[in-house]
Amino acid sequence: MTFTIPRELEAELDELATRYPQKRSASLMFLHALQERFGYVSKEAVEWTAAKLGVQPIHVWELVTFYPMFRQEPAGRHQLKVCRTLSCALGGSHKLYRHFCDRLGLDPNKHGLQTTKDGKFSVEFVECLASCGTAPVMMRNEEFHEGVSCEQADALLARCS
Amino acid sequence: MSTATAANTETKPPAPAVETVRVKVDGRVVDVPRTLPDWQGKPQPTTMLQACAIAGAEVPHYCYHPKLPIAGNCRMCLVEFGTPMMGPDRKPVLSEDGSPKIARSVLPYEPGTPRGAIACATPISPGMEIYPSSPATKQMREAVLESLLINHPLDCPICDQAGECKLQEYSVEHGQAESRFAEVKVHKPKQVDLGPRIMLDDERCVLCTRCIRFSRDVAQDDALGIVNRGSHNSIAAFPGRQFDNNYTLNTVDICPVGALTSKDFRFRMRVWFLKETRSVCASCATGCNILISSREESVYRYEPRQNDAVNACWMCDSGRLNYKWIGREDRLLNVRSSRSGARAWAAVVAEIAETLRSAPQGSVAVIASARQSTEELYLLKKLAAHLGALTDSVERLGEGDGFLVNADRNPNTNGARMTGICFTEVGIQIPKIAQGIRSGRIHTLIVFGEDVTRHGIDSETLSKVSTLIVSDILPNETTRRAHFLLPGCAYAEKRGTFVNAKGRLQRFLKAVEPRGEARPEWEFLQELVHQVTGENLGPGFEALFNRMAKDVPALASAGVEWGKVGDLGAPLTL
């Protein structure tokens, strides 16, 4: 699979790089943009970014492996992010996470993002989603859900196509 | 000329006074220079670590290396210190006995607790007191070491670094007998194939980043980085890319622990069995200073030896791994004369001497190798001068890399020039010698350390020579055709000197015994010169060197003597 960047995205990123005193500072913005477009950050995307910003690929790779929000593999169509920071942890986020894993046939003890074999769902724990008063909270892609019970979770899964 | 020299010595400006700063190390007053050269040689404010070193107090460290930029990440060099107390009038506060009061560094929110600073990156100031052996310093070191060992596998029995490992060394002084760590250690990648010559064990790594800084700033190949987060941090190259420049093995030397290992050396020998011999790399005209590690007459590895005038702390991988030929199975082991069938040194040397004594002037030619020591080239020149022989050497050109690899792949071209074996342009006499052989004027050829059939004297021409005297280490076309064959020594098997591309005379010492009947070339050449010319240039090696040092103008003007050359060599004016 060859890696091609749409022209308009490239133009956008080129402009972005000019906003920083050092091009390298735009690394994270590049990675966010590329993940948004392609769903994950591939090795080719890292090499492309490195060449654009005049650094070696390893130094972009350092960032990709450092930040958990960057995915090195494609995620499912529906990405379920369950908050596990203190309030949500007290409010039942582990129960919710286990529930999702059981329903989707995933291993609740495994670290990091997991995707179902059909590529439909991804489940992962994330840190604070900034709604501590309505724990447990979660996101399905860009959609926010508060006070999620197991029943509501089932209903949410049923709505996903 | 002599007046100019005299004027030079007289008008030499006095060395500028070094500006010093007075500090105390463990209560002892020392005056240290205000600035010292950094890794690139630029003057930088002297650090606490350097001040302690001058005072003779070693501060343990992992990430600091004098030839690399300072990172300050390992925290091992934390020391307690104090600075003169200042009053509201910005004058030092004095104690009752009139000495300045010292304010010890403490935590701002906890004034009873000493606060350390990393000695490698903290500049000294006048009146500063450094306490490298105070209880607080000791406690800081113990804490840092304990933290570094939390996830370390402690696999010292099978670790190549064992015996030359900083973790082990500092554990002796600052380690704890029992681990307080009750949890499960984090596992990281092991046996990571970083490149063709390097194997990485991430679990042993203390993340000092010396390898990253070396690759980026010295080798100019920014190939390494730290991936992942927190306790999963590991050194890595970009997936699918090889760590493969010509200087990768230096990272093994500077790795303070057993994380980076040389594929060539790993698991081959425990380092405490190795004998180290000071030598010089012979793979090019740079002449990097090296240590040869050997055991029981086998060479196991080369390591760079620090010489700031030549190679700093580094050497190239190609030179470092160029030692295996020394132990090759097909080494020439036996001396022989195919004329008389003699197979003993004394008889063969006497036979050669007799042949040469009866050779008419100008009927002999000498082709010597610029891989030979200056002493051997000097002896060959002596012989040639007596016989009125044409002499030359063989040029060996490659590509230079602008760092340590010189385009001239002979280690001693300048030695050959200096002794008069060859001219500035190496090899220009060889066509003349070939012509002389073809015309029948030259019928005796002396060849040392070169296969002349590959360097301008083809086999047909060589077959016209009636007496072919050859000394070499490994067999080749020329040695096969020799009438007299004299097995010689690898430079690791004898003493001698090379003159590098910059005109630095550097000595190498004997690491291992010669193979078979092989003898150092200087030894039998000394005998041969004695028997042919009647001149005794001995006895022994040192007498020979000192005689040469008087005879060869470049050496005489530098006033060198064997005992004065030293481990770092002596610069000559060529």
Q: What is the pLDDT of residues A46-84, one digit of tens each?
A: 999 999 999 999 999 999 999 999 999 999 999 999 999
Q: In CATH, what number is assigned to the domain containing residue A60?
A: 1.10.10
Residue B3 lies in a domain: no
- My answer on whether A86 and A143 are in the same domain is yes
Per-residue model confidence (pLDDT) at position B11: 58
Asked if the C-beta of A23 comes within 8 angstroms of chain B's C-beta atoms, the answer is no
The pLDDT tens digits of the residues spanning B127-136 come to 999 999 999 9
Q: Which of A22, A68, A21, A63 is nearest to A45 (CA)?
A: A63
- My answer on whether A19 and A62 are in the same domain is yes
The pLDDT tens digits of the residues spanning B479-488 come to 999 999 999 9
- My answer on whether B382 and B531 are in the same domain is yes
Alpha carbon separation from B68 to B46, B310, B317, B478 (Å, rounded) = 15, 17, 19, 47
Tell me the CB-side half-sphere exposure of residue B21, using CA atoms within 13 A. 22
- My answer on whether A26 and A54 are in the same domain is yes
Nearest to B227 among A55, A56, A62 (CB): A62
Q: Quick one: average pLDDT of B525-545?
A: 95
The whole-model pTM stands at: 0.92
Mean pLDDT, all residues of chain B:
94
Asked if the C-beta of B16 comes within 8 angstroms of chain A's C-beta atoms, the answer is no
Q: Quick one: average pLDDT of A93-109?
A: 95
Per-residue model confidence (pLDDT) at position B124: 97
Tell me the CB-side half-sphere exposure of residue B272, using CA atoms within 13 A. 6
Per-residue model confidence (pLDDT) at position B562: 94
pLDDT at B302 over 50: yes
The pLDDT tens digits of the residues spanning B514-529 come to 999 999 999 999 999 9
- My answer on whether A61 and A83 are in the same domain is no
Which residues of chain A make contact with B228, given a CB cutoff of 8 A?
Answer: 65-66
Residue A2 lies in a domain: no
Residue B190 lies in a domain: yes
- My answer on whether A84 and A109 are in the same domain is yes
- My answer on whether B378 and B449 are in the same domain is yes
Which of the pair, B383 or B175, is modelled with greater confidence? Answer: B383
User: pLDDT confidence of B186, banded at 50, 70, 90?
Assistant: very high
Q: In CATH, what number is assigned to the domain containing residue B39?
A: 3.10.20.740
The pLDDT tens digits of the residues spanning B205-216 come to 999 999 999 999
Asked if the C-beta of A24 comes within 8 angstroms of chain B's C-beta atoms, the answer is no
- My answer on whether A82 and A62 are in the same domain is no
Per-residue model confidence (pLDDT) at position B6: 43
Max distance between CA atoms of chain A, in angstroms, equals: 51
Contact present, B96 and B90 (Cβ < 8 Å) = no
Asked if the C-beta of B226 comes within 8 angstroms of chain A's C-beta atoms, the answer is yes
- My answer on whether B140 and B210 are in the same domain is no
Q: Which of B72, B191, B236, B201 is nearest to A59 (CA)?
A: B236
The pLDDT tens digits of the residues spanning B66-85 come to 999 999 999 999 999 999 99
Which residues of chain B make contact with A42, given a CB cutoff of 8 A?
Answer: none
How many domains does chain B contain in total?
Answer: 3
User: pLDDT confidence of B5, banded at 50, 70, 90?
Assistant: very low
User: pLDDT confidence of B253, banded at 50, 70, 90?
Assistant: very high
Å from B32 to nearest chain A CA? 39
Per-residue model confidence (pLDDT) at position B574: 81
Per-residue model confidence (pLDDT) at position B436: 96
Which residues of chain A make contact with B227, given a CB cutoff of 8 A?
Answer: 58, 61-62, 65-66
- Cα-based torsion angle of the residue sequence B515, B517, B521, B523 in order, rounded to the nearest 10 degrees: 120
User: pLDDT confidence of A2, banded at 50, 70, 90?
Assistant: low
- My answer on whether A47 and A83 are in the same domain is no
pLDDT at B3 over 70: no
Residue B175 lies in a domain: no
The pLDDT tens digits of the residues spanning B281-301 come to 999 999 999 999 999 999 999
- My answer on whether B266 and B364 are in the same domain is no
Per the structure block, which two tokens stand in for B48? 């606490």
- My answer on whether A87 and A118 are in the same domain is yes
- My answer on whether A83 and A143 are in the same domain is yes
Q: Please give the residue range of the domain that contains residue A131.
A: 78-159
What's the CA gap between B37 and B123, in Å, rounded? 13
pLDDT at B91 over 90: no
Q: Which residue type occupies B352? A: I
Q: CA nearest B226 in A: which residue?
A: A62
- My answer on whether B552 and B500 are in the same domain is yes
**B:227-246 residues touching chain A, CB 8 A cutoff:** 227-229, 236-241
Asked if the C-beta of A66 comes within 8 angstroms of chain B's C-beta atoms, the answer is yes
Task: Give the rounded percent of residues in chain B with a pLDDT score beyond 90.
Answer: 92
3-state secondary structure of B292: strand
Residue A73 lies in a domain: no
Contact present, B252 and B315 (Cβ < 8 Å) = no
pLDDT at B10 over 60: no
> Which of A46, A66, A86 is the last residue in one of the domains?
A66
- My answer on whether A44 and A12 are in the same domain is yes
pLDDT at B459 over 60: yes
- My answer on whether A56 and A12 are in the same domain is yes
Q: In CATH, what number is assigned to the domain containing residue A105?
A: 3.40.30.10
Which of the pair, A160 or B350, is modelled with greater confidence? Answer: B350
- My answer on whether B320 and B347 are in the same domain is no
pLDDT at B9 over 50: no
Contact present, B441 and B363 (Cβ < 8 Å) = yes
CA end-to-end span of chain A? 28
Per-residue model confidence (pLDDT) at position B178: 87
Q: Quick one: average pLDDT of A95-112?
A: 94
Q: Please give the residue range of the domain that contains residue B434.
A: 336-571
How many domains does chain A contain in total?
Answer: 2
Which residues of chain B make contact with A65, given a CB cutoff of 8 A?
Answer: 227-229
Q: At a CB cut-off of 8 Å and minimum separation 6, what does A61 contact?
A: A43, A46, B225, B227, B236, B238, B239
> Which of B261, B295, B327 is the last residue in one of the domains?
B327
- My answer on whether A91 and A62 are in the same domain is no
Residue A52 lies in a domain: yes
Q: Quick one: average pLDDT of B303-324?
A: 97
Which residues of chain B make contact with A57, given a CB cutoff of 8 A?
Answer: 238, 241
- Phi, psi for B277 (deg, rounded to 5): -125, 135
What's the CA gap between A62 and B238, in Å, rounded? 9
Q: Quick one: average pLDDT of A139-150?
A: 95
Q: Which of A42, A49, A65, A73 to mutate to test the interface with B (most CBs of B within 10 A)?
A: A65
Nearest to A65 among B222, B228, B240 (CB): B228
Q: Quick one: average pLDDT of B403-421?
A: 97
Q: CA nearest A42 in B: which residue?
A: B239
Angle between helices A7-17 and A27-38 (to 10 degrees): 160
Which residues of chain A make contact with B237, given a CB cutoff of 8 A?
Answer: 58
Residue B238 and residue A57: Cβ atoms within 8 Å?
A: yes
